[in-house]
Amino acid sequence: METSSDSARRTARLDSPSAAGAQPVRDDARERQAPGGPDAAGASDRTRPGRPWFRRRRVVIGGAVVLAVVLVLGGLWYWHESGLESTSDAFLEAHVVDVSPQIAGQVTRVLVEDNQLVRAGQPLVRIDPSQFNLALQQALAGQQQAETALGQATAGVAVAKASLAQAQADAASTQATAVRAQQDLKRYESLRRVNPRALARNTVDQAVAAARSAVAQQRAAEQRVQSARAQIQSAQAAVAGARARIATARAAVAQARLNVGYATVNALVAGHVANRTVAVGSYVTPGQQMMAIVPLHLWVRANFKENVIASLEPGQRVDIHIDACPRADARGHVISIQRGSGEAFALLPPENATGNYIKVVQRVPVRIALDTVPTGCVLGPGMSVEPTVKVR
């Protein structure tokens, strides 16, 4: 229990002036803290009645900084994107080489597999060469016969020339005989006119007959000369024919050798084997596709909208995202722009002169070269890419 003295002392402390003003002094001091204190601005804002949070100094400054950063980043993004043109309508392309035989025959060996890398000139398929070897032997025999015929024709020319020389000699001899016979006849006739009794009639007749015979022999000799010349021409024609037959035989030999060589089908370009359809035992014919070779040289065919073609030109740098190589992009440059849209070269081009017309933005093919390609990528024609051209 409290004593009466304790209650009197507690009442005296509460009634004293110092005790009465102690609590208000502490509250006023809390409200009037120093302006330079750490919580002065915040306490002032919190205690200031009717002021919204978005008008506070820190919020305004922070918002201004954020807005400035957004404007700068947006401007940089717009400047960067305004200098780029891209399309998703783009694919890798290559001139795929179809492998076909040039002769007909049965396949005896297939030396490559699907997707195998081959070099130019590497053997791919072997065809049975038996019949072509026989044809080569026949062609060689025909060539030898033609060469023999040429030798005979050449010898015939020599014989004909010798016959011509003999005929010319005979013609000269008969000409001399005819001249002498004519001279004898003239002397006999002159002598008979001077003295008819100096010569017998029989002698004059013999001279006339000898002159006529000499003239006839001369004409026959001249005919033999013409015949010998014709024989020379005939022999020379035979030589020309023999040489032509030799050329034909040599062409047949060359064709037979080619056919023997065609029995081995080689790769025309370096690349990867694809779409192999031939097997051992198959009978193939000229032009039949046995496989295809995808060359190592690829490029990009990008179909850009026609309203951006004006900003494209050869030589511009291109970043190429290849769907088959998502970890890294390829690099390239614009090579050329096709003169005309893709629809203009379609199998059935559109006919816009009939019916109702609705304008559609056309696509124009642009050829892009691949300068650098990420290592380890399996690339081939038809794969999707996304080129981005830096137009400025």
Q: Please report, for the chain, the start and end positions of each structural domain, with discontinuous segments joined by +.
A: 97-125+264-292, 130-262, 298-390
Q: Give the residue among 336, 326, 325, 341 at the shortest CA–CA distance from 379.
A: 325
Strand, coil or helix: what is 70? Answer: helix
Q: Looking at the DSSP assignment, which residues form a beta bridge with residue 387? A: 320
Residue 33 pLDDT greater than 60, yes or no: no
Q: What integer pLDDT is reported at residue 152 of this predicted model?
A: 86
355-359 average pLDDT score: 81
Residue 187 pLDDT greater than 50, yes or no: yes
Please check whether the domain covering 298-390 is classified as CATH 3.40.50.11540: no
Q: What integer pLDDT is reported at residue 355 of this predicted model?
A: 75
Q: How far apart are CA 219 and CA 148, in angstroms?
A: 38
Instruction: Specify the higher pLDDT residue, 141 or 168.
Output: 141
Strand, coil or helix: what is 179? Answer: helix
Each residue of 72-88: pLDDT tens digit? 777 666 655 567 889 99
Q: What integer pLDDT is reported at residue 312 of this predicted model?
A: 93
The answer to whether residues 316 and 390 touch, using CB atoms and an 8 Å cutoff, is: yes
Q: What integer pLDDT is reported at residue 66 of this predicted model?
A: 83
When pLDDT is cut at 50, 70 and 90, the band that residue 197 belongs to is low
Q: What integer pLDDT is reported at residue 194 of this predicted model?
A: 66
Residue 320 pLDDT greater than 60, yes or no: yes
Residue 202 pLDDT greater than 80, yes or no: no
Kindly report the pTM of this predicted structure. 0.62
Burial of 356 (0-12, 13-18, 19+ CB in 10 A): exposed
Residues 6+ apart with CB under 8 A from 166: 228
Residue 165 pLDDT greater than 50, yes or no: yes
Q: What integer pLDDT is reported at residue 177 of this predicted model?
A: 73
For the chain, the average pLDDT equals: 81
What the block records as the tokens of 126 is: 């072997």
Please check whether the domain covering 97-125+264-292 is classified as CATH 3.60.9.10: no
Range with the lowest mean pLDDT among 155-169, 214-228, 251-265?
A: 214-228
Range with the lowest mean pLDDT among 206-210, 298-302, 305-309?
A: 206-210
Please state, as a whole number, how many other Cβ atoms lie within 10 Å of the Cβ of residue 144.
Answer: 12
Each residue of 94-110: pLDDT tens digit? 999 999 999 999 999 99
Q: How far apart are CA 337 and CA 331, in angstroms?
A: 18
Q: What integer pLDDT is reported at residue 196 of this predicted model?
A: 66
The highest-level CATH class for domain 130-262 is mainly alpha
C-alpha 187, offset from chain centre: 95
Residues 6+ apart with CB under 8 A from 168: 225, 228
When pLDDT is cut at 50, 70 and 90, the band that residue 120 belongs to is very high
Instruction: Specify the higher pLDDT residue, 223 or 140.
Output: 140
Q: How far apart are CA 31 and CA 10, in angstroms?
A: 30
Q: What integer pLDDT is reported at residue 21 of this predicted model?
A: 44
Strand, coil or helix: what is 184? Answer: helix
Each residue of 206-247: pLDDT tens digit? 777 777 777 777 777 777 778 778 888 888 888 888 899 999
Q: How far apart are CA 310 and CA 145, in angstroms?
A: 71
Q: What integer pLDDT is reported at residue 160 of this predicted model?
A: 81
